[in-house]
Every structure is written in C-alpha cells, then in structure tokens.
Structure 1
C-alpha cells in the first residue's frame, strides 16, 4: 500500500471532541449540499422575543455559543458524556447552565419552563418537550433521518441498520401532532455529503460511531481502498444524507 494512502487511513487516530468537523470541512476535504432552509435563520427570528431558551443536545456548545442575542435564561442539555465538560467549559462563562441528560422522558425542568426549545440532531420525547414548553411556546428541530448515508454502508459492505428506517418527516410530524403540537413548518431533503479523500471519510466515520458500529480501518480496509481508487478517478465520492425540519407551537385548550 502506498505511503500516502497509509497516512490518510491513519486519520482514524486523530482526536475528535465536541461536535466540530472543521478539521475536514473547513479545509475543503468534506462538503455538504446546502439545504433549502436555514435552521439558524429560523431560530434567530424567535430569539429576540424569547425569555427562556433550551438547546437540546448542545454537543460541545459550539453552535449555541454563536447565537446572539441569547435570552437571559438560556440552558443547554447534552447526553454524550465526553461532551458535557467541553460544553460546560465553553458555555458556563457565558452564563449558560449545562445539564447532562440521558433520559428523554425525564428532563430536569419544571412544567412550562421555556418559551423556545431548539434541537439539532438530538433525540427527544414529544410529550416531555410539550410539558416543559410554555403555552404558545415554540419547538424547532432539525433531525437526521433514518436513511442517512445508507449508500455509504452499502459501499463499504457494512450492515444497513434498519432500526431507525422509520425515522422521517411523516413519522416525526405525527408524533408531535399526537402530543398536541400544531406543526407550522416542515421540510425534508436528501442532500449529498461529499468526501475528497479517503482520510476525510475515515475521520468522519470515527466521529460518528453509530453509523457503522463495528467500523475500523483494518476491518474495512479493502472496501476503503476501493473507494480511494474511485476518488482518484472521479475526484470525490458522495453519498445521500437525510435531513428534515419541523417548527411547531404548543397550543392548549
């Protein structure tokens, strides 16, 4: 195997913390097709009139720390233990409390605590979100759908897990409506994720271990080398992502 490829495959050894893909995205080694909506722009339209904000699944707090102006009461949760101290270090100096939450059905907040709850790529319980949201409060979520990067699993000869195949806009919308939310806006798309070298793909797969749970360079080396050859021929490889978005309001009575 050529030294260049060996070095690329060693990307799996590089550290990853929080939820920051700048190492491969900002260097142009990975790219994502833009969505037709802007999660951030939609949130910004509500921030100035919100008094209490909850960010569910804040990662390392990277995203939340960029939003402005934040309500005087802003709280974040995170369920992935290694991210919790990173989020605390970044957000607590900004006056944002961070709670480690591992049970979606039992959030550590009183009824009607927030008038805006945001959630990007984090699990949630519709009934529990409804409980802690004030009347006329807004819940905004962008989710990774169950068909995300399925063609990547196929290309590597990995298991195509069907556990979350049902997770799509229609399913999530019905869940929220059953929990008595009124859905105002919703979108669903399948944008591409493009990788320009095999090392970027390896780094990405190590950062999201749930995509291929048994992933290692050694186990999938032959398939990775085939994808490397495809990149040499075409300049990149790309796979379909799966994203959907929902904005809804809590209406009582």
Structure 2
C-alpha cells in the first residue's frame, strides 16, 4: 500500500471525509500525524488518584476513552458528556464498569448535589466552571485536570483563518484560569505548562483532525476550504510534514476544609 503522502489529493480527502469522528480516540491518525505528550503523564496520574478516591467525577469525558484507562475506579464514579454520539459510546464503554454516565452540556449547573465527590477530573474541558467544580467537591477534595492552553495548534488554525487578534490568542491562559479557580474558593496546588510538537504527515490527517476538534476552525468543511487544502497537500508533498504546536497545562487544586 502506498504511504499517505504518496497518495493523491482527492483520495486522501475522500477517505478523511468519510471516516467516523465519534468518540475521543485518535488512533486513526497513527502513521499520519504525531504529537508529543506533556511530561506529567496525565492518564497514569489520574488513574493513581482514582484508585485512592471514594467518589469521582470525570467532566466532559468524551467517549470515556481516557477514564477507561484507569485500572481501578472508586465505588462512586460518574462522568458527564454533552455530545449525544459520545454519550452513547461512553455508556457502552463505562457502564459495565459501574460508571454513571450523565448526558449534560458544557453549561452550569452540574446535576449533582453539593459535596458529592472527593475527586473531580477532566481532560481538555471546553471551559472549567469553577464555582460548580468547587460546589460538587467535598471539603478537602481535589480537582485534577489537563487543560488546553492558549494558542494551541494555532499554526494550523491561522493557516485557514488568517492571523487572529491578541485576545483570542490569550484565551485559555493558565494564569487566568488559576485566578478563576481561586476566586471560586479553590486552593491551586500545582500549575504546570507544556508546549509540544505536532506533525501532520498528509492532508487527510488535517481534515480528520478539524472534523473531530470542531472548535479549532469553526464551520470547517472540505468544500469550504478545498483550495486551501489543496495548497496544503502540495506544501506537504514539497516540504514535508506540516508542523504545529499544542499547549497544555496541568491543574491541581483542592477545596479547603471548612
């Protein structure tokens, strides 16, 4: 079989346009894109914390792929997700492990009583609603999450949208988010940041990524950006992978005892 970069534009586009983008599994990109991981190993660290918890909540769990990697789950474990196809996937994946998967959008309030959980986790939430996170945590409970940082993958975003203004580039700033957590009553114990390299090896990988991570280029369709995609295909063929950089930050915070 020919490698993706050796295949024609039309074939790559058609394949990437037809494959399912449900769930939060990016294995379709194996051999077509690479991404460095932050040094703290979020999934492993989350698993260790869940093993010690008595009540856990995973916010915006996607299809439950990351949560399901935890070897041991607490006796009480819940997860929220807002996109219906992902809700169904998460229920199939996590239900047999005793996880209660709740269909819930990204807006407050969370459908749980005050002080229900001693651990709240989230990997790449759209927005952390700090007041609600504080409310559902027990005194002494911990929020442990990996957030997307500012200007993440903006080399690709601006390839399609053009230069973005400074306020857009500063969205998801870790210091701003930490300040929001403190205002909601949390104590921020740890805030770590990382900038990692991404390589897109063919234009199909870009199409798949933008179809899946829909907020990167809002309203993205192949038809709308066909000519720009064709130019990108030719650029990769001539110069090699398209390089971008992701930004991430690890947030560890706790609700103080009364």
Q: Establish whether residue 58 from structure 1 lines up as the match of residue 57 from structure 2.
A: no
Gaps of 5+ in 1: none
Q: Work out the CA distance in 2 between the residues paired with 1:215 and 1:160.
A: 16
Alignment correspondent of 1:104: 107
Q: CA deviation at 1:238?
A: 1.1
Deviating 4+ runs (over 6 angstroms): none
* Equivalent runs, 1:1-253 vs 2, <5 Å: 4-10=8-14, 11-24=16-29, 27-122=30-125, 123-158=127-162, 160=164, 163=168, 165-253=170-258
Equivalent-residue separation in structure 2 for 1:158 and 1:94 (angstroms): 45
Distance 1:222 1:169 in 2: 36
Contact kept, 8 Å, 1:104 with 1:128, in 2: the verdict is: no
Q: Which runs of 5+ in 2 are unaligned?
A: 1-5
Change (3 A) 1:57 1:103: closer
Distance 1:3 1:127 in 2: 50
SS in 1 for 2:171: coil
CA distance in 2, matches of 1:106, 1:207: 26
Residue deviations 1:181-225 (CA, integer Å, cap 9, x gap): 111111122212211111111111111121111212222122212
C-alpha deviation, 1:4, in angstroms: 1.6
Give me the TM-score of the superposition, normalised by structure 1: 0.92
Q: 2: CA distance between counterparts of 1:245 and 1:137?
A: 17
Give, in whole Å, the separation in 1 of the partners of 2:78 and 2:108.
18
* Higher alpha-carbon deviation: 226-235 or 130-139: 226-235
148-157 or 195-204, larger mean C-alpha shift: 148-157
Deviates more, 1:214-223 or 1:240-249: 214-223
- Report how far residue 158 of structure 1 moved: 5.0
> Is the CA contact (8 Å cut-off) linking 1:55 and 1:64 kept in structure 2?
yes
How many angstroms apart in 1 are the aligned matches of 2:162 and 2:214?
13
User: 2:227 aligns to what SS in structure 1?
Assistant: helix
Q: Distance in 2 between matches of 1:38 and 1:132?
A: 26
Count of aligned residue pairs for this structure pair: 250
